[in-house]
Chain A
């Protein structure tokens, strides 16, 4: 009794507004989801606002998709959740969208709390927005796009998984998906130079260098948890002789706000990066080995920022594009003797393969680094989601569902016979790490940077001077 009274005095965790202050964020972080989901169970739906949003944003494209779906079920076996759940008809993409967004539109937003919780559990717990189903629908219905839209509706009503609310809050407060400030980031850059300059004389991580050719933008996980990744990127740029820089403000390119469906936050986040491009007058942008960062900053970002051309201010490259260019132009030279001898396979991330067409880039890179490269089946734009995309990896509420979904990727990897998976995407990398943890199939996994660093030939003039 006393405890209940106490919790009633606390400010509510569930609101329809994004988290924009550190106090609110700390409160959410401390809760770990328990009180949050309890509050969500009784949180009312603002049906009038929902109807208004639907009227303003649900236009002919989505309404037509919902209307002309022939209920043919051809999308069933395109979804890894359907396959991983023993062909459960409730996992058919068409069923999932029809029973959530379809009903919501039909009822013009007049739905209750339980309905919205089901929408949330479907939009985040049964779909990673990998867009694979859309490629197989004869009518050209992209259910991934509709689930992205549904996430936005859910977010606007406060029905969003705990970690996603935190994620967008981080972006509002830090302009990064984690609590890493500009100062923290710049310090990490300095620290990484100090750690490595002994081995790579002249190594630098130029911060805010105006007029550089390349502006390199990272994922906040790197400075926060894997600073070595930042060092590796710096070393490779250094060895390739690139003119490059990292921005202080605008250093982070990912967007958990995109996973959360917080479109206003997406806009703020990406405008920060674009402002850095313009401020530093760089020629090109290169993003780190992250799939959704590329999607958020290069593919979708221009639209959030209101750029009619659909392009960012300067051309945007995914890291793999830069690597291939450096290999093909000879800026980076690899020692062929150090090619990976054992069988190795490659994960195709949805966000820059299916959704940005870089299908052949990674394969060409593999030809430089692997002697026995084995394709997964299916591959390229037909590849299955790793199982952890769209924010899935980070949401505790759907951990069980995520782990079931991983079975498809596990079986794809096992079928190649390779025990080594190359993954140039943070979410895929995580999902593959977790699938090893859950299913113990004896695989290793890696980003490209450590592999390249292992094989790269250091030009003589960049080698450390031998002690006399």
Chain B
């Protein structure tokens, strides 16, 4: 069981993850149309790149008005995303597994930091859940898939935490953890989790729109 889940299934999950992402990015870029979108993407590429860079800078970092207007929610959101990405990519156990399978490796973070980050992801996830259940503004927008997506994103962290601390049957929770991770990898290209990479597409597109057409050439650098 463990061999299958951590071997071929992991390979398949990563394959779906990467092929899915690349396919969707290609689909996204091919679907951009200077006439329909009314943005001269290629003719004014320079202004577009400047706009895109500005857009990414202001939104990858907390230099935007939404962060100023909603500091608590945005702080939790930044924390959630940063911890989620760093803890899963730089965890010693993950890097070791990948090195054993594919002979590639990279730097790692100490386990106790990953442990705190995991707790932060779970805590932020609970915050999002409570907000979804109680805030009338969020409630009206929420669909079943929002809960499923949140569950998919949190499951690897909850199961990973249980497995790491060996509270219960380690082998069982390890298998569940790996399965949850694989479900997440597979879900990323096909669900709202696709914002993992489509966020960049969308931000770059809007940045180009503003940079090329909506005042990029004339304004003083609007942080859209």
Enumerate chain A interface residues (CB-CB to B < 8 A): 57, 59-61, 63-65, 67-74, 76-77, 87, 89-90, 92, 94-95, 98, 134-142, 299-300, 302-304, 306, 308-310, 354-360, 381-382
Contact = CB atoms under 8 A, between A and B. Distances in A.
14 contacts: A59-B33, A60-B28, A64-B28, A64-B202, A68-B194, A72-B141, A73-B138, A74-B66, A87-B137, A136-B69, A310-B44, A360-B220, A381-B222, A382-B65
Contacts of B104: none
Contact of A309 (B29, B43, B77, B216): B43
A447 to B, nearest CB: 21
B66 A89 contact: no
Contacts of A73: 135, 137-138, 141
A76 B137 CA distance: 7
Contacts of B201: 64
Contacts of A68: 192, 194-195, 198-199, 202
Contacts of A134: 206, 224
B194 A139 contact: no
B90 interface: no
B137 A89 contact: yes
Interface string B180-222: 0000000000001011001101110111010011111111101
B59 interface: yes
B37 A61 contact: yes
A355 B135 CA distance: 32
Contacts of A89: 136-137, 139-140
A303 B194 contact: no
B207 A71 contact: no
Contacts of A135: 65, 222, 224
Contact of B32 (A61, A94, A141, A360): A61
Contact of B198 (A64, A94, A302, A357): A64
A357 B219 CA distance: 4
Contacts of A98: 141
B105 interface: no
B31 A355 contact: no
Interface residues of B, number: 59
Nearest to A90: B140
B165 interface: no
A299 B65 contact: no
Given A89-B139, A92-B137, 9 more contacts: A60-B32, A64-B198, A65-B202, A71-B146, A95-B140, A136-B64, A140-B199, A310-B44, A360-B220
A263 to B, nearest CB: 10
A360 B29 CA distance: 34
Contact of A77 (B36, B39, B69, B217): B69
Contact of A355 (B40, B136, B140, B215): B215
A304 B38 CA distance: 8
B132 to A, nearest CB: 8
A67 B34 CA distance: 21
B219 A303 contact: no
A356 B34 CA distance: 18
Contacts of A302: 40
A23 to B, nearest CB: 33
